[in-house]
Amino acid sequence: MLNREEVEKRISTANGAGLVTILYEALIENFKDSIQCLEDKKYDELKYINSNSRDILAQLISTLEGDSEIAGNLMSIYIYLNKLMTDGEIKRDKTSFENSIKIVKPLYEGFRELEKEQSPKVVMGLTYGKGQLEECVLEGNKVFKG
């Protein structure tokens, strides 16, 4: 289960790819919880989790821009995930949720890498020069004195 405070902190500091990564992570957790609900025969809880997963899919769909091939492919994946969730709920089949995890995991890993690439590399600190104290910011290979 994702820690709410940790997620809120991640959301507040995430770039665009990081926000998508968080959504994929939540979907994976939901699919794992859905499998557990089926094993425990908690079907009302399964409906609630699937409703939350559909909300996440709706949010992911809202991030798609234009009519590029990538956007079209992601849309198809999101629609297919919704179908798998529905089938898993109706048929009470955990295989649908296991397959959903297999589909989302590579997307999650790809966006996690993209998040790392897009993150600014900034280091701040104080330096001591001859008789003076200066504030410095390091971005990439450049040093800025403030």
All structural domains of the chain? 4-119 (1.20.120.340)
* CA 88 to chain centroid: 22
Q: List the structure tokens of 45.
A: 């809880």
The rounded distance, in Å, linking the Cα atoms of 19 and 141 is 27
The Cα 106–Cα 49 span in angstroms is: 22
Strand order in the sheet with 122-129: 122-129, 132-139, 142-145
What kind and span of H or E run contains 143? strand 142-145
Q: What is the pLDDT of residues 1-28, one digit of tens each?
A: 567 888 788 888 888 888 999 999 999 9
pLDDT exceeding 70 applies to what percent of the chain?
A: 80
Query: Which pTM was predicted?
Result: 0.77
User: What's the mean pLDDT when you consider all of the chain?
Assistant: 85
